[in-house]
Structure 1
Amino acid sequence: MSGFDTVIVVDWSARSAPSPARPTADAIWIGTVRDGAAADTTYLRTRAAAEAWLAETVAAERAAGRRVLAGFDFPFGYPAGFAAAVTGRPDPLALWAALAAEVTDGPDNANNRWDVARRLNRRFPGVGPFWGCPPGEASADLPARGTERRDHGLPERRRTEADLPRAQPCWKLYTTGSVGSQALLGLPVLHRLRERFGADLSVAPFEAGDTGIVLAEVFPSLIADAVAARQDPDEVRDSVQVRVLAEALARLPPDRLAAMLAEGDPEEGWILGRGHEDALRAAAAAIPNLAPPPLRDDCFALPAGVDWTPVDEALGLLRDRLAVVVPVEEVALAGAAGRILGRDVVAMRPNPPEPNTAVDGYGFAAAAGQGAENRLPLVTGRAAAGRPHGGAVPEGHGIRVLTGAALPPGVDTVVLDEDTRADAGVIAFRGPVRPGANTRRAGEDVGEGDVALRAGRRLTPPDLALAAAVGHGTLAVRRTLRVAILSTGDEIVEPGARIAAGQIHDANRPMLAAILERWGFDVLDLGRCPDDRAMLRARFDRAGAEADALLTSGGASAGDEDHVSALLQEAGAMASWRIALKPGRPLALGLWNGVPVFGLPGNPVAALVCTLVFARPALGLLAGEAWHAPQGFEVPAGFEKRKKPGRREYLRARMRDGHAEVFHSEGSGRISGLSWAEGLVELPDGALDVRSGDPVRFIPWGSFGL
């Protein structure tokens, strides 16, 4: 490996406002590789959040004894002569300090870079060297266009950028490729990292790189072809760049990387890997493809001789044959709610991190509180949350402690304020007091190294609290599953549209879209498609290119106009599962360009039941979630029904007066029953005679995630 345990590559941003909540380009992306494994990617919306992430992550890595290389995609130095003109000496690190004193950058990305550029330009004759700004910011001191500059006396580019067509000059502050703004707003952050980590951090090539932390300038476009070769259609390119470059650097031979870090101009700096592009490309080409494997072509094939498929058998087949199809990415803790955890969260520190008091009171060693009446002298000072006492408490003495305070050495028991009397530096209380009373042990909740959260869990707000408490600022989560939906049939028209004889409004698509969004998936709405094989093929092709799964409604049986089934048959990856349930017997399953297709019945009641019973757990597996089995409850029946054997039945139901009542009609065309209901009553496969008061299984909508 590279000689570094952890490699971090940062794609910086000069945005003047927070980046969108949904990951996008031109934001801050960070790729992180540990021990040569696949890179995690982190999306951050502001520079303040990124600075906090970097400081916290690097500190945690060093606390674990790990050596860190951190690369940033903006210039570390300026063309020769600039540093000396600003600071009086050709020292790029002195220039970092000068910029840190000049630049203000708020938590919302609001900053003063235009004013800083004007002040810097005034130090030089003529006009420039900095240029580029919004129209309202242009002035004699800061031209909007580079062609308006003259006679400032500085080179346009550094040596490392010569003959590098993709590299932009560090004087450019605005529009595409504005690395000048990235540097003005990024170098102060690096200066503060230098201040924080001191002698444990060095900057290549300005300082010897034998420290625990090394900062280096990087340029992902050095290996643009290798990045393009590993581009996932659904992955933001900036994310790909940091991921691939971090993995390539981590795979370089240690001596080759050490030589690269030592190269460069002592004033202008150097792009790490400049002149070694072939070695970086070779390292990138050697990166294994760790994306989830595609599903087998026969994943939906039924065993030989199977005709009617019981519900439990169908669910078992889906559970055994489907697997996760979306990769893992690293996100900030604040953006992880609702996402599916991609790796176990292991506690980096115990919770509580140290013994502490659960109440306001007085602390002492347990042996000093075993008498019927106890009097203890108090030591000077107190212990409060975040403000430890700082010394040991002698045997036979007590100390004032406040809730949450770390227990000083010599203290293992606390007595409540209300149970004491204090006067002239002495407390009195009755005993004996239980040893350890009113205290919390270090790690009594979660110990260091324990698994706090298991992969496959959809993260809740309390999960984020636990992850934060055990030391995590980012989490590895699965990329959100993207599910396409499509309604088929000549008779279907858009909701609210004018309707002709023989037509019906599309009830399924809005229902399915709302369900999928409630489940935390991204929805690709492919609209309505008439009974036209070529048009349907085009929609399938789009789903195959842009989605991870496809839900269709209608056309899933074996009739002349059942084109969903016919297309899947043509592709050679079609299974028509005749499932023994009511409502919703036909379920067409197949693959289209490797994407799973769930062909639901066209009837809205049957479509909903099949979606809840089969698509919910299947899509969860594809998304990286643990298998979802809905929680049902035995309740008294508020209805009577005689059921024949052979099929499992789902009745629209709701709870009233402690009993499950069912919709007055079992007709699968009665959509109003779905709105009326609060869940489903599940009746087993065999014959059944339900009488009022008999126990039945009621599954509320909430158990299906609705």
Structure 2
Amino acid sequence: MSDCCATDGLMGLEVALSRLINDTKQVSDTEAVPLGASLDRVLAEQIISPINVPSHDNSAMDGYALALKDLHSGDTLPLAGQSLAGHPYSGEIPAGHCIRIMTGASMPSGADVVIMQEQTETTGKGIRFLQKPDKPGNHIRTAGEDIPAGAQVLTPGRRIRPQDIGLLAALGIAQVRVYRKVRVAIFSTGDELKLPGEPLGEGDIYDSNRFVIKAMLGKLALDVIDLGRIPDDKAALRAAFMQADQAADAVISSGGVSVGAADYTKDMLAELGETRFWQLAIKPGKPFAFGQLPNSVFFGLPGNPVSAAVTLQQLAAPALRHMMNQQPEAKVELTLVTQTPLKKRPGRRDFQRARLVYRESGELQVRSTGHQGSGVLSTLSHSDCYIVLAEEDGDKQAGDLVKVQLFDQLLI
């Protein structure tokens, strides 16, 4: 079956993702931020190394530095001094001598080899060397061995990770230019919603969606504007839409995109902007909506909590990363044996919550975390991956091979 659509005419996931990327604009404004504040920001410049890393030839071991030509197997050489990290040996090693050297310390002039201390003995006449290296360069890290001066280190669009910050610090770079943060306004809709800590009336539920959405967006370098709960009232919803559109680059709502009589979100989107597409061939998350407002794009997530989380991760987040100018990050997918049978009707791509497990033999397998209803948030909490069943797939039996997609940074 084609990725484009399923048997009921719903739009396929790949087509929706392509539309989302094509219809969202990338921010162009940039700013310089201190290196310590750059985590998860998107790099807006090419980083060229201004120095060699390491900046000087240095020892990779604790031991003794010397000129290899001065050494014969079993020789004892007198000690001429020492070289410590930050306190190098001054001058050139006298012929026929060695110096004590520590890991990271500069190689002294005239030395071309380091012999580790485990291959030496200390005697009254100096240092006796039990082995002789075959050639110069033994246990020496040369200047620029990691990064030579002038080398390209990082490219625009990279999400700056902790190890990147360490790399930039090693280059002596104190600040970096990044794209400005994308502004995202969020709200949830429904008269039945209550905040955690408030008492529940008959028919009420707690507003879990907005909390999980905000937490997931917090894993991205975004400015999140939380507009709270909006009642099922057209005037209140219109005001929320207009406020969000003025304040943000993207607007995300939860609920109100199904077919119920009080689901006003689609109506409001049509009144103030336009709906680009609605309803997809995925499960959970069929009633996902995408549209355009006067100043922003709109992502309408379903009201069921698992559907909201899945569509945020699979659809809205890639579009937001594109708006941030972030280079695409491939999802990690595996083919594993399922330990549990899986129910599936052909027609939509199914993201079933699951957990990786190891057999006693060490073989990695996967098992369902239980009930797959779109309102069952507990199974998502107990999961670390999805079992992804294709549109044309039916039921799977225990022991079958299935495609598994590991949770990305938004859910771990």
Q: TM-score range by the shorter chain?
A: 0.7 to 0.9
> 2: distance between equivalents of 1:361 and 1:676?
51
Tell me which residue corresponds to 1:548. 249
1:488 aligns with 2:194: no
Q: 1:513 aligns with which of 214, 217, 235?
A: 214
Name 1:317's counterpart in structure 2: 19
- 1:431 maps to which of 120, 132, 135: 132
Match of 2:380 in 1: 674
Residue in structure 2 matched with residue 399 of structure 1 by the alignment: 99
Contact 2:64 2:117 in 1 (8 A): yes
Give the distance between the partners of 2:323 and 2:149, measured in 1 at CA: 31
Show the counterpart of 1:354. 56
The amino acid that maps onto 1:519 is: L
Contact conserved, 2:273 with 2:294, CA < 8 A, in 1? no
1:277-319 deviation per Cα after TM superposition (whole angstroms, max 9, x unaligned): xxxxxxxxxxxxxxxxxxxxxxxxx99xx95221122223333
2:59 corresponds to which letter in structure 1? T
Match of 2:160 in 1: 459
After TM superposition, list the pairs within 5 Å mapping 1:334-349 onto structure 2: 334-349=36-51
- Does structure 2 conserve the Cα–Cα contact (< 8 Å) formed by 1:557 and 1:576? no
Q: Which residue of 2 aligns with 1:24?
A: none
- Equivalent positions of 1:370-389 (< 5 A) are 371-378=72-79, 380-389=80-89
Matched AA of 1:359:
M
Cα gap change, 1:359 to 1:677, in 2 (>3 Å)? closer
Deviation at 1:355, TM superposition (A): 0.6
Cα 1:634–1:574 change in 2 (3 A) is same
Equivalent residue for 1:691, pick from 379, 392, 397: 397
Deviates more, 1:515-524 or 1:410-419: 515-524
SS state at 1:487 partner: strand
> Offset at 1:559?
5.2
Could you state the TM-score of these two structures normalised by the residue count of structure 2? 0.87
- The whole-number CA distance in structure 2 between the counterparts of 1:404 and 1:663 is 50
- C-alpha contact (below 8 Å) 1:639/1:691 kept by paired residues: yes
Q: Which residue of 1 aligns with 2:30?
A: 328
Task: Give the unaligned 5+ runs of structure 2.
Answer: 360-364
Matches within 5 A, 1:24-39: none
Report the counterpart of residue 235 of structure 1 in structure 2: none
CA contact under 8 A between 1:372 and 1:432: conserved in structure 2? Answer: no
Q: What are the within-5 Å matches in structure 2 for residues 614-693 of structure 1? A: 614-641=315-342, 643-658=344-359, 659-693=365-399
Runs of 4+ in 1 over 6 A off after TM superposition: none
Q: Deviations over 1:409-460 (max 9, x none)?
A: 3222111122223556643323244421111011111111222233333333
**Does 2:312 align with 1:606?**
no
Gaps of 5+ in 1: 1-301
| Alignment map for 1:554-569 (pairs within 5 Å) | 554-557=255-258, 560-569=261-270
The answer to whether 1:308 aligns with 2:10 is yes
Aligned letter for 1:661? R
1:620 maps to a residue whose letter is: R
CA distance in 2, matches of 1:525, 1:459: 25
Structure 1 residues 499 and 406 mapped into 2: Cα distance closer, same or farther (>3 Å)?
same
Residues 115, 139 of structure 2: 8 Å contact kept: yes
* Structure 1 residue 467: Cα displacement: 0.7
What secondary structure, in the 3-state scheme, does the structure 2 residue paired with 1:579 have?
A: coil
> Counterpart of 1:409?
109
| Partner Cα separation in structure 1 for residue 91 and residue 194 of structure 2 | 77
What fraction of aligned residue pairs are identical, expressed as a percent? Answer: 37
Matched residues, number? 401
Query: Which string of whole-angstrom CA distances, capped at 9 and with x for unpartnered residues, describes residues 161-219 of structure 1?
Result: xxxxxxxxxxxxxxxxxxxxxxxxxxxxxxxxxxxxxxxxxxxxxxxxxxxxxxxxxxx
Q: What letter is aligned with 1:662?
A: S
Counterpart residue number, 2:407: 701
Tell me, in whole angstroms, the C-alpha distance in 2 between the residues paired with 1:474 and 1:569.
Answer: 44
Q: Secondary structure at the match of 1:309?
A: coil
8 Å CA contact retained: 1:555, 1:601? yes
Work out the CA distance in 1 between the residues paired with 2:213 and 2:46: 31
Decide which structure has greater helix share.
Answer: 1
- CA change 1:321–1:407 in 2 (3 A) is farther
Q: Secondary structure at the match of 1:586?
A: coil
Shift, 1:526, TM fit: 0.7
Alignment of 1:440-479 (within 5 A): 440-479=141-180
Is residue 481–residue 623 contact of structure 1 (8 Å, CA) maintained in 2? yes
3-state SS of 1:471 partner: coil
Q: SS of 1:585's equivalent? A: coil
C-alpha separation in 2, matches of 1:622 and 1:578: 23
Q: Counterparts in 2 of 1:98-109, with a 5 A limit? A: none
